[in-house]
A and B are shown apart, each in its own frame.
Chain A
Amino acid sequence: MPWSNQSGGGGWKSGGGGPWGQGPSGGQQQPDLEEILKRSQDKLKQVMPGSGLPGPLLALVAVAAIAVVSFFAFTVQVRPDEQAIVLRFGKFDRVKGPGLHFKWPYPVENVLLPKVTRQNSIEIGFRSIGARGFSQTPRDVLEESLMLTGDENIVDVDFVVFWRIKDAAQYLFNIQNPEITVKEVAESSMREVVGQSDIQPILTQARAKTEQAVQKLMQQILDQYKAGIDITQVQLQKVDPPSQVIEAFRDVQAARADQERLRNEALTYASKVVPEARGEAQRILQAAQGYKEQAIAEADGQAARFLKVYEEYKKAPDVTRKRLFLETMERVFGGMDKIILDGKGGGPGVVPYLPLDQLTKPKSDQGAK
């Protein structure tokens, strides 16, 4: 207990030079004092066997020693992260905050100094630092992390519980193993919460809800024990399906993506094909429109031409008719190969003997020009 270290200087009275050989307890004293004591001790050794002792010096040393011892025996120092729980004859008497406080020396009063501001954490389902202290990757503790869900699936849950001392007196006096208690309560609570849920929400959207539910349940149980512990946070780390089936779960994710992809591909197709069809429809309509206008325009033109010719024809029908015939025939015959058979000479009897094929072929090339 801390106080016994602090008042350790008291030992010198009984055991000659004993404490000074022990280093650490003496080292805490002020150097001046140590020097004085050392010198006086030497003198003590010198004069002990003999008779006369300088009375005033001895008295001075005794007073100084008693003062130092009393200071440590009657006070207690409390650091900023601590609280002093003072016990009088073993019975809880009072709580003191940081600073220097008075206390009665042993065996009347005894002081405990729990670290009340410290944030403690417990890892469940994994250990971030291995036993040797240098492994960086978290080690999975499967017997802690595998648990059953409400729909009879198994899920691998790693989480951290943060806690601190809420009531130092309760913490110290009401429960035997606070750390173990927190850990066991955490495991039990997590399994109870997970057991009431299906696997899918736990893996996805219900993380925050799970954390809160576990924190609430833990706090409730610990308060029932009057443990004086405040659960500040429950933090889910890795929440996965067991490693044996994780591939199947990943495939579901992939399938979801595939589903989206197929849909998107189809949408891409649709958004390509439909506008194209709309364009095609426009093309058909425009072509039809063009045909219509062309037909009308041509008809108008031809009709106009006919009417113009007709005007002329009406003035001199016979002449015009003959002229038109002859002009047309001139143009028709002008550009083509002709074979004229005089009916009176050879007559139609010659026709069957004409080599029509041979006449046609070589000249069709020439005719092209």
Chain B
Amino acid sequence: MRAVFSFILVILVAAAIATYSSFFIVQQTEQALVLRFGEPLRAPITTPGLNWKIPVVETVEFFDKRVLDLDSSPQELITSDQKRLVVDAFARWRISQALLFYQTVRDERIARQRLSNLLEGSLRRVLGSASFEDIVRDKREKLMGDIARQVNEEAKELGIAIIDVRIKRADLPEANSQAIYKRMQTDRQREAQEFRAQGEEAARKIRAEADRDVTVLKAKATRDGEKIRAEGDATRNRIFAEAFGRDPDFFAFYRSMQAYEQGLKSGDTRMLLTPESEFFRYFNDPSGKRAAPAQKGK
């Protein structure tokens, strides 16, 4: 009775272990390879879910099914136009054929090493035959596509599919960067100089125009002013001519009188005269018979 009970217990436990070990779960992110004594008889399992295997006889290897990343180390290369460039690229890949992958590289760590080598080689080949401008500016997209295609072709043998290769950084080595900084600096200095010179140019032009305007304005005003003065003089002459023309002889006398009065100012004039002038007609002789010419001096 006791033996039977034990036997049943053993059977049950054995059955439980057998059941447990004959099922396995393939996660959504995984794919699996079933090996019977190391021999891959079945196709790789790529759909997730519950699967069975023969316990002990069959073993399961799991592989990632997701997009995996690969970051290559930065490497210095020379472009077709002899410029040095430090390029840091990364790839996105996945395991496309689990069996091939298992046979050639076995696990992700080795796969990454192999891929890194492939990627580096391809980078050198493709970028080495491209010019600096193409890499940095014009054809980056296309070059990345070329590299991805090349690496993909080579990685097929490893059961790996390359989804994308992208250049993360494409920079100049430190020494070249310094040269660029120098050039940037001189470029900016030139630009600054140019701005200042342009400012000076504009300023001088504005000043010159202003000065010219000033000169022209004054000249025109002087011209018009002279015209006006001339008009005044002309009118004055006409008025005088009209008035004085009535009796030129009397005018000469009258004007002389005015001129004497104006010209011989008191105080600064000293007169040395003889009493023979008309003024002194009666000075010596009350009858005033004769007049003598006056003698003037200063």
A residues near B (Cβ < 8 Å) are 87-92, 107, 143, 146-148, 150, 152-154, 172-177, 180-181, 184-185, 187-188, 191-192, 195-196, 221, 224-227, 241-242, 244-245, 248-249, 251-252, 254-256, 258-263, 265-267, 269-270, 273-274, 276-278, 280-285, 287-289, 291-296, 298-300, 302-304, 306-307, 309-310, 313-314, 317, 321, 324-326, 328-329, 331-343, 348, 351, 354, 356, 359-360, 363-364, 367-368
**B108 and chain A: residue at smallest CB distance:** A176
Contact A176 B68 (CB under 8 A): yes
B44 interface residue per 8 A CB criterion: no
Closest 10 CB pairs of A and B: A335-B266, A292-B232, A259-B199, A281-B221, A288-B225, A303-B243, A270-B210, A367-B267, A248-B188, A255-B192
Given A245-B185, A296-B235 in contact, is the A313-B250 Cβ separation under 8 Å? yes
Contact B28 A298 (CB under 8 A): no
Contact B92 A310 (CB under 8 A): no
Contact B266 A334 (CB under 8 A): yes
Question: A299, A354, A368 — which one has the most chain B CB atoms within 10 A of its CB?
Answer: A299
Our pick among B49, B244, B268, B271 for the contact of A306 (Cβ within 8 Å) is B244
B257 interface residue per 8 A CB criterion: yes
Contact B235 A299 (CB under 8 A): yes
Given A154-B184, A252-B195, A328-B260 in contact, is the A342-B275 Cβ separation under 8 Å? yes
B276 interface residue per 8 A CB criterion: yes
Report the minimal beta-carbon distance from A34 to chain B, rounded to whole angstroms. 33
A221 to B291, CA, bound (A): 132
Our pick among B228, B254, B274 for the contact of A288 (Cβ within 8 Å) is B228
Contact B196 A255 (CB under 8 A): yes
B residues near A (Cβ < 8 Å) are 25-30, 47-50, 64-69, 71, 90, 92, 132, 136-137, 140-141, 163-164, 166-172, 177, 180-181, 183-185, 187-189, 191-196, 198-200, 202-207, 209-211, 213-215, 217-218, 220-222, 224-229, 231-233, 235-237, 239-240, 242-244, 246-247, 250-251, 253-254, 257-258, 260-261, 264-276, 278-279, 292, 295
Report B-chain residues with C-beta under 8 Å of the C-beta of A293: 232
Contact A184 B69 (CB under 8 A): yes
Contact B69 A172 (CB under 8 A): no
Our pick among B27, B140, B188, B217 for the contact of A249 (Cβ within 8 Å) is B188
**B51 and chain A: residue at smallest CB distance:** A89
Given A184-B166, A328-B257 in contact, is the A153-B180 Cβ separation under 8 Å? yes
Contact B217 A296 (CB under 8 A): no
A261 to B66, CA, bound (A): 62
Report B-chain residues with C-beta under 8 Å of the C-beta of A249: 188
Question: B49, B90, B217 — which one has the most chain A CB atoms within 10 A of its CB?
Answer: B217
Given A91-B48, A278-B217 in contact, is the A302-B240 Cβ separation under 8 Å? yes
Contact A288 B226 (CB under 8 A): yes
A256 to B209, CA, bound (A): 23
Contact A87 B239 (CB under 8 A): no
A107 to B19, CA, bound (A): 14
Report A-chain residues with C-beta under 8 Å of the C-beta of B250: 310, 313, 317, 321
Contact A333 B279 (CB under 8 A): yes
**A295 and chain B: residue at smallest CB distance:** B232
Our pick among B27, B65, B69, B246 for the contact of A181 (Cβ within 8 Å) is B69
Contact A148 B210 (CB under 8 A): no
Given A252-B191, A280-B218, A306-B254 in contact, is the A241-B268 Cβ separation under 8 Å? no
Contact A263 B166 (CB under 8 A): no
Contact B254 A324 (CB under 8 A): yes
**A152 and chain B: residue at smallest CB distance:** B180
User: Could you jot down 18 A-B contacts, CB within 8 Å?
Assistant: A87-B27, A173-B66, A174-B67, A176-B66, A191-B169, A258-B196, A258-B199, A260-B199, A273-B210, A274-B214, A291-B229, A299-B235, A299-B240, A309-B254, A336-B270, A343-B275, A351-B272, A364-B267
Contact A266 B271 (CB under 8 A): no
Contact B141 A273 (CB under 8 A): no
**B188 and chain A: residue at smallest CB distance:** A248
A172 to B49, CA, bound (A): 16
Contact A277 B213 (CB under 8 A): yes
Report A-chain residues with C-beta under 8 Å of the C-beta of B224: 284-285, 288
Report B-chain residues with C-beta under 8 Å of the C-beta of A191: 167-170
Report the minimal beta-carbon distance from A323 to chain B, rounded to whole angstroms. 11
Contact A295 B233 (CB under 8 A): yes
Contact A324 B180 (CB under 8 A): no
Our pick among A107, A255, A288, A360 for the contact of B229 (Cβ within 8 Å) is A288
A221 to B236, CA, bound (A): 98
Report B-chain residues with C-beta under 8 Å of the C-beta of A267: 206
Given A252-B192, A299-B236 in contact, is the A245-B27 Cβ separation under 8 Å? no
Report B-chain residues with C-beta under 8 Å of the C-beta of A294: 232
Report the minimal beta-carbon distance from A157 to chain B, rounded to whole angstroms. 12
Contact B206 A263 (CB under 8 A): yes
A186 to B180, CA, bound (A): 25
**A241 and chain B: residue at smallest CB distance:** B184
A150 to B67, CA, bound (A): 32
**Known A225-B92, A255-B194; further 20 A-B contacts with Cβ < 8 A:** A90-B30, A90-B49, A184-B69, A188-B168, A191-B168, A245-B185, A248-B188, A258-B199, A263-B206, A270-B207, A277-B218, A285-B228, A288-B227, A321-B253, A336-B264, A337-B270, A343-B274, A354-B272, A359-B270, A368-B267
